[in-house]
Amino acid sequence: MTAARLTVDPRLPIGPVRRRLFGGFVEHLGRHVYDGIHEPGHPEADEQGFRRDVLELVRELGVTMIRYPGGNFVSGFRWEDSVGPRDRRPRRLDLAWHSTETNEVGLHEFADWLDKAGSELMLAVNLGTRGTLEAIDLLEYANLPGGTALSQQRIDNGRESPFDVRVWCLGNEMDGPWQLGHRSADDYGKIAARTAKGMRQLDPSIELVVCGSSGAQMPTFGDWEREVLTHTYDDVDMISCHAYYQEHDGDIDSFLASAVDMDRFIDAVVATADHVGAVRGSAKKIDISFDEWNIWYMDRVESVKPTAIDDWPVAPRLLEDVYSALDAVVFGSLMISLLAHADRVASASLAQLVNVIAPIMTEPGGASWRQTTFFPFAITSRLARGEVLRPQVEASTIDTARYGTVPAVDAVATHDSETGESALFLVHRGRGDAVELRIDVAGLGDVEIVEAHVLHDDDPYASNTLDDPERVQPRTLETRLTDGILHVTLPPIAWAAVALRRG
């Protein structure tokens, strides 16, 4: 058994626990909307056709804000198709995912679903095949109380009060050649700046997210952020980051260290944004919206979309990855990374929520269940409160092929000085021996252990499926607190959470 020492000190804060860090993402893709959140013929369907069992799981997950309706889908989307009487809404081809969109669920229905789920709406506008005027029209439709043709149209469509959308995304992944309307950084920066200025003329209080790179591996990464922000710095609040991780060719050590890559990605975007601000002589700071992140096995057959010219299915099974215990441990470590950058990451959106690379799965007409990745998200969202603290960690290291030498143990803590509640989130990346942690929590005062969970399986590839939906579950973690020292032993490849409360 190896050993590690940690110190948790409330005098070492990173920033506030921003509730929007626990956001999600719903795209019109595969079985996410249709047969996922919406299945009118299901025994659990409510009066609007939304599955009650899925809503219960979304509420348990603790998702605070949900990005909608895309994703790649938004770059071919006409928002007008998604409002008004359902029987008059057009069926359209979705070129992004080679599917047919029925528009049965649109803006009004999704907003109703969000009300039931207890989540806030983050709305994306189409800057791929549309532009500034359409974005301003959507904002007027959504946020203006009344007195104009568009706001009256919303009222006539059944929504008297505005949707009052606070956060808006200016397109999606516009650096990607796969994106409809893909542009250079210069061209995108110009249309994003024009659109941002126009939207703020209508509603100056909204928050705007400009597209950053689709990933740190993009050949234009860094230059894209610099050029786009040079155009938009004064007009936007956040720049987006997107990152997906998977195990490559059996390289488990590098996969377990994925959060190191996320850390470097965030740090690079922050440095670039601050450079642009410095050049402009601006005191303003651009935050990050990490509005797509997850584990995604892009080379699996589940991720292959139809291609035939005459094959445009409705809600095909796409991107339905089955997640393992190993995936869940990496997933939990990515959440540690997001919290550890709470000073600059203002929001984050898990991509996605139901069926599509998702923590929640459903079977048409049948059951819903929690994937392994459900648990780190739900537990972290529930326990993280107050301020994020940076623990001091002394631990052994692991050599990885992709990311070099990394710590075997990573951690972050949160502390609410008003309630006296604290939480620790831990990951053990080692594959060999267990690690014995001695965690100095004396700085938190006279605390007691409230709950402790560990996610680990002796078979790291064990998963939850329709036939065995509870195969992988978090278990109670054995802990001991003596004289301000918390003693915890983590097995190899494990994620854990410990909640403490001042007595």
Contact (Cβ atoms closer than 8 angstroms) between residue 68 and residue 122: yes
Q: How far is CA 114 from the centre of its chain?
A: 16
What's the half-sphere exposure (Cβ side, CA atoms, 13 Å) at 294? 27
Name the active-site residue from 140, 173, 227, 421: 173
| E-strand stretches of 234-286 | 238-245
| 3-state helix/strand/coil string of 170-235 | ECCCCCCCCCCCCCCHHHHHHHHHHHHHHHHHHCCCCEEEECCCCCCCCCCCCHHHHHHHHHHCCC
Using alpha carbons only, how large is the chain's radius of gyration in Å?
23
- The span from the CA of 264 to the CA of 276, in Å, is 18
Quick one: which of 298, 374, 299, 297 has its CA closest to 335? Answer: 374
Of 227, 292, 320, 421, the active-site residue reads 292
Residue with tokens 């392994």: 372
The phi, psi pair for 233, rounded to 5°, reads -50, -45
For residue 6, CA distances in Å to 70, 326, 469 come to 40, 24, 35
Residue with tokens 């699996």: 300
How far is Cα 487 from Cα 452, in angstroms, rounded to an integer?
A: 12
Report d(CA 238, CA 223) in Å as an integer.
17
Beta-carbon count within 10 A of 112 CB:
16
Q: Report helix, strand or coil for 155.
A: helix
Closest CA to 233 of 175, 183, 274, 184: 274
Residue 366, Cβ neighbours under 10 Å: how many? 11
Q: Could you confirm whether 173 is annotated as catalytic?
A: yes
Strand pairing partners for 370? Answer: 360
Distance CA 286, CA 273 (A): 6
Which two three-digit tokens encode residue 86?
Answer: 């359902």
Active site residues: 173, 292
